[in-house]
């Protein structure tokens, strides 16, 4: 039975905790009902930066809605993955009702922490109320000469997650024989970090390249430092949930219902989640027939065996595309400013121990940060994987997609709406993208 707010049936939800453990009752219900038959293709969708079940369910309902008409003869089941992620409430989602916070942010961008985001932080980082209150107070008051204290509190918030930082589940590219160092995001001078974020935000909001321009107050970038530190924790979590939770569950499903064809779909960090699920698949499982990434918020080199700028380094998911008995399809858009402008800067801070220092001393500006090294899947597609095919969205919808390997689809013709700082990052509810999912999985 469909849930009250869901547009399709049969629909199931799978709820995972931060360690990748799934709700046992939901898992057992899915396995039991799918095993009974009636479903040939199962579309499994993982959300990105939504911080509650209702927001994720609304996304799934709207995205899935056109599919029954597009594939009227297909026997399709639908799964919505619910995992503990975080979305700052000042980020508008195109085509969804805007929150009061998002409308206020559009009218007057400010670094203060709204009450809804404070509540979301408390849910995402339980037991950290005192730290969150201190962070909120500092963002509101912007005290002189206390940015370092602000940085200490932000790092304390993220590093106090049970188990502490887990570099293995944070990095998207790895160098052979080189241990992961602690990210600059947690070690560098806070004023420098905030100043770089402030300049990047100014570029996004003005549309101009502020090369050589420095905003007078680094506090303008302080909220972005908090946002990215939080997303760093969510990035780790997405990998954990995918590899330890969803991947093994797909294996269980393959054992119970081997004829069911599974199609993984992920938005933003949900793209990272479903991609890491490939690492968690038991050996011999071949039931994943397609993976579709919508504005994937992870490195465009994640599937690469070797990086163009370092022959001794490769992507953390290198070769995992071969676990799919079908294509890995990556939809991207130049209008995704979250991935085009802020992500490269945050990635440089998170993954390169010398990044910020070198950037400051060598005179790198925002333009260089948008270059090859720090790109995201959702901004320019899969990179450095031989044989990757490229399509416009129109061409992808009028021709047969490859039966295997990586496929890039420029979806900017529809993924184009949204204000700063995220741009079109969440502009994914489009009939054409639902068609891509069906085309990738050969669902008819």
- Identify the CA nearest to 338 among candidates 350, 347, 330, 329: 347
**In angstroms, what CA-CA distances link 264 with 80, 124, 286, 313, 442?**
10, 25, 13, 27, 13
Q: In degrees rounded to 5, what are phi and psi of residue 441?
A: -90, 0
Pairwise CA distance, residues 396 & 381, whole Å: 14
Q: What is the pLDDT of residues 139-177, one digit of tens each?
A: 999 998 899 999 999 988 887 444 444 443 457 877 665
Pairwise CA distance, residues 354 & 380, whole Å: 25
Q: What is the pLDDT of residues 3-41, one digit of tens each?
A: 457 999 999 999 999 899 999 999 999 999 999 999 999
pLDDT given for residue 344 in this prediction? 62
pLDDT given for residue 1 in this prediction? 44
Q: Is the pLDDT of residue 48 over 70?
A: yes
Nearest 10 degrees: CA dihedral of 232, 238, 239, 242?
Answer: 180
Per-residue pLDDT averaged across 323-347, rounded? 85
Region class of 131: left (phi > 0), else alpha (psi between -120 and 50), else beta:
alpha
Mode of pairing for the β-strands spanning 389-392 and 405-410: parallel
Nearest 10 degrees: CA dihedral of 174, 177, 181, 185?
Answer: -20
Share the mean pLDDT of the chain: 82
Pairwise CA distance, residues 438 & 444, whole Å: 7
State CA 175 to chain mean position distance. Answer: 23
pLDDT given for residue 196 in this prediction? 81
pLDDT given for residue 18 in this prediction? 87
Q: What is the pLDDT of residues 66-81, one digit of tens each?
A: 999 999 999 999 999 9
The two three-digit tokens of residue 220, written as one number: 């303008």
Q: Model-level pTM greater than 0.85?
A: no
Burial zone of 233 (CB within 10 Å; 0-12 exposed, 13-18 middle, 19+ buried) = buried
Side-chain-facing half-sphere of 338: CA atoms under 13 Å: 32
> In sequence order, what are the residues at sequence separation of 6 or more whose Cβ sits closer than 8 angstroms to the Cβ of residue 207?
none
pLDDT given for residue 341 in this prediction? 66
pLDDT given for residue 337 in this prediction? 82
Provide the H-helix boundaries in 207-277: 222-240, 247-256, 269-277
Q: Is the pLDDT of residue 47 over 80?
A: yes
pLDDT given for residue 419 in this prediction? 76
Q: Is the pLDDT of residue 120 over 50?
A: yes
Helix (H) or strand (E) holding 82: strand 76-82
- Identify the CA nearest to 116 among candidates 103, 108, 153, 107: 103
Q: Is the pLDDT of residue 182 over 70?
A: no
Selected residue with higher pLDDT from 210 and 205: 205
Which of 103-112's residues contact partners 24+ apart within 8 Å by CB, and which partners? 106/419, 109/201, 109/205, 109/420, 111/139, 111/142, 111/219, 111/220, 111/222, 111/223, 112/136, 112/139, 112/140, 112/223
pLDDT given for residue 358 in this prediction? 37
């Amino acid at each position: 039975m469909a849930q009250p707010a869901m547009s399709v049936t049969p629909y199931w939800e799978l709820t995972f905790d931060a360690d990748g453990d799934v709700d046992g009752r939901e898992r057992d219900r899915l396995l039991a009902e799918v095993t009974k038959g009636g479903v040939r293709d199962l579309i499994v969708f993982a959300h990105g930066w939504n911080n509650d079940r209702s927001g994720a369910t609304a996304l799934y309902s709207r995205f899935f809605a056109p599919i029954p008409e597009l594939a009227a003869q297909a026997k399709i089941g639908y799964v919505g993955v619910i995992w503990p992620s975080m979305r700052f409430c000042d980020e508008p989602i195109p085509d969804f009702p805007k929150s009061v916070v998002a409308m206020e942010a559009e009218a007057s961008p400010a670094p203060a922490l709204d009450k809804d985001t404070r509540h979301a932080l408390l849910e995402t980082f339980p037991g950290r109320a005192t730290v969150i209150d201190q962070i909120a107070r500092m963002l509101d008051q912007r005290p002189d000469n206390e940015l370092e204290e602000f940085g200490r509190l932000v790092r304390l918030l993220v590093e106090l997650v049970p188990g502490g930082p887990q570099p293995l589940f944070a990095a998207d590219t790895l160098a052979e024989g080189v241990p992961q160092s602690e990210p600059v995001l947690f070690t560098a001078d806070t004023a420098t970090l905030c100043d770089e974020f402030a300049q990047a935000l100014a570029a996004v909001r003005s549309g101009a390249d502020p090369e050589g321009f420095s905003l007078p107050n680094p506090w303008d970038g302080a909220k972005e430092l908090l946002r990215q530190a939080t997303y760093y924790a969510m990035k780790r979590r997405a990998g954990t949930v995918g590899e330890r939770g969803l991947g093994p569950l797909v294996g269980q499903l393959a054992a119970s219902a081997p004829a069911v064809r599974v199609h993984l779909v992920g938005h933003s960090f949900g793209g990272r989640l479903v991609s890491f699920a490939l690492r968690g698949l038991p050996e011999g499982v071949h039931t994943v027939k397609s993976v579709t990434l919508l504005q994937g918020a992870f490195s465009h080199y994640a599937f690469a065996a070797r990086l163009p700028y370092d022959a001794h380094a490769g992507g953390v998911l290198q070769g995992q595309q071969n676990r799919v008995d079908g294509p890995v399809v990556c939809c991207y858009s130049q209008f995704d400013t979250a991935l085009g402008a802020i992500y490269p800067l945050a990635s440089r801070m998170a993954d390169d121990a010398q990044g910020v220092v070198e950037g400051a001393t060598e005179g790198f500006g925002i333009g260089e940060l948008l270059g090859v090294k720090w790109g995201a899947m959702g901004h320019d597609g899969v990179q450095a994987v031989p044989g990757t095919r490229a399509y416009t969205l129109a061409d992808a919808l009028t021709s047969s997609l490859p039966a295997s390997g990586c496929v890039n689809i420029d979806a900017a013709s529809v993924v184009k709406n949204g204000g700063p700082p995220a741009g079109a990052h969440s502009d994914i509810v489009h009939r054409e993208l639902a068609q891509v999912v069906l085309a990738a999985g050969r669902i008819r």
